[in-house]
Amino acid sequence: MEEKYDIAVVGGGPAGLSAAMTAAQKGAKVILLEKDEAIAHSVRTSGVSWISEMEKLGITKQFYNPISNFQFISPSNDVFISGETPRSCVLDVKGTYQHLAMLAAGAGAKLMVKSNVINIKSDSGRITGIKASTPAGDLTVNCTLVIDASGFSSTVARKAGLANEWKRYGVGAEYECYCDSADSQTWMLMVGRRYSEAGYAWVFPLSKNRVRIGVGIGRPESQADPLEKLHFVLEKRLKPLDVLGKIQPLELHYGFIPNEGLRQATVSDGLILVGDSAGQANPLVLEGIRYAIEFGRVAGEVGAKSIAANASKDSLLEYEKAWKSRIASKIASAVKVQSRWIGLSDQDWDKEIEILRNMTVDEFLDFIKADFSAAKMMKLALHHPGLAARQLFNMVLK
């Protein structure tokens, strides 16, 4: 089979679905191919995000559990930051992604599941289409623009020679579980070597009886298997699992996330990279869903407009400028904090979490969301003249 489209989107995660929706709304003829047998069939994320950002993106409260409080647990220390109103949330990942898929389909994009993109077509170094195996047989799509939203694998960009494999990345394993009793308004991060040699563990609640418990590990610093570590944490009932009562796994989630900052080049003639494929993720708490949706929409809009200009690199640069000016410096600062965090010993962690103790919720959220403007950091250092906040200031801005 051979078909012709303006835009082929590779990957049905939040970036690809958002790009497909906007490109179709802007009048482009769009096809999206997802290799799994359903949208959000394999969950590769813990789904923590921020309510204000989700509202701006039209993800309403039916799709998340609101979170007011944040707890950090180190081997011999514990910091609890309590907020009056919920500011963070844990997403119903399947519900949210299926919603994004409905929007893309409603806007007129053609969606194909169980459709694995296995190769690209190119002519004189320019990408001209993709080849996929689909339930209806082998498919060749000829198109003016390919949007690579294939996540960590950056499938198309690597085949086109625009991107290399990520060298620094996180790998995470998580069970979504039944538990007898969780605090549904508090998410918890656990740090120190018992939880993860180079990373952290977490408990993210979806309700009083349903939580995501996971372990993330940074490569290349550690080669440990996050699933083994997760079983250890569950078996030993490490704090705070000791207060959850009975725990029964319902789903296993596993995934990879780039952790080395942004890709330098995210556009070339006939090609855009978006979402994890472009490295658009905050390495501090491994979060990228909001960026994937936001920049997926920008990619879709710029991509649709570029068709008249044969999707030349010049016509796509607007996309690259837009997303880099929004987050490049934040991600660079977050990488600095993350590089420091990944090497800490248990004793260091006991001290390090003191940085967070006296922060207001707003300050904490700016920090954890990687909202590190110079003005905000200056204000933080002035409000907290103690050593800990100074360390943070130096870490981010130097």
Interaction of residue 218 with ligand FAD, rule CB under 6 A: no
Under the criterion CB under 6 A, does residue 49 sit at the interface with ligand FAD? yes
- Per DSSP, the residues of 52-114 read HHHHHTT--GGGEEEE-EEEEEETTEEEEE--SS--EEEE-HHHHHHHHHHHHHHHT-EEESS
Q: Both tokens of residue 354?
A: 């003191």
Least Å distance, CB 126 to ligand FAD, is 20
- 65-103 b/e (C-beta count within 10 Å ≥ 16 → b): bebbbbbbbbbebbbebebeeebbbbbbbbebbbbbbeb
Query: Is the CB of residue 367 less than 8 Å from the CB of residue 338?
Result: no
Provide, rounded to whole angstroms, the least separation between the CB of residue 338 and ligand FAD: 14
Q: Judged by CB under 6 A, does residue 283 bind ligand FAD? A: no
- Rounded CA gap, 279 and 286, in Å? 11
Task: Please tell me whether residue 129 binds ligand FAD under the rule CB under 6 A.
Answer: no
CA dist 215 and 14 (Å) reads 22
Site string for ligand FAD, 186-215 (x = CB under 6 A): ------------------------------
Say whether residue 14 binds ligand FAD (CB under 6 A).
yes
Query: Does residue 183 belong to the site contacting ligand FAD (CB under 6 A)?
Result: no
Which of residues 25 and 153 has its CB atom nearest to ligand FAD in the complex? Answer: 153
Interaction pattern, residues 143-162, with ligand FAD; x per rule: CB under 6 A: ------xxx-x-x-------
Q: Which of 111, 120, 203, 286 binds ligand FAD (CB under 6 A)?
A: 286
For the record, the structure tokens of 175 come out as: 């069970």
How far CA 124 is from CA of 9, 143, 244, 350, in Å, comes to 22, 15, 59, 57
**Applying CB under 6 A, which part among 69-77, 270-278, 342-350, 357-365 lies near ligand FAD?**
270-278
Binding site for ligand FAD (CB under 6 A): 10-16, 33-36, 44-49, 116-117, 149-151, 153, 155, 172, 216, 255-257, 275-277, 281, 286-289, 292
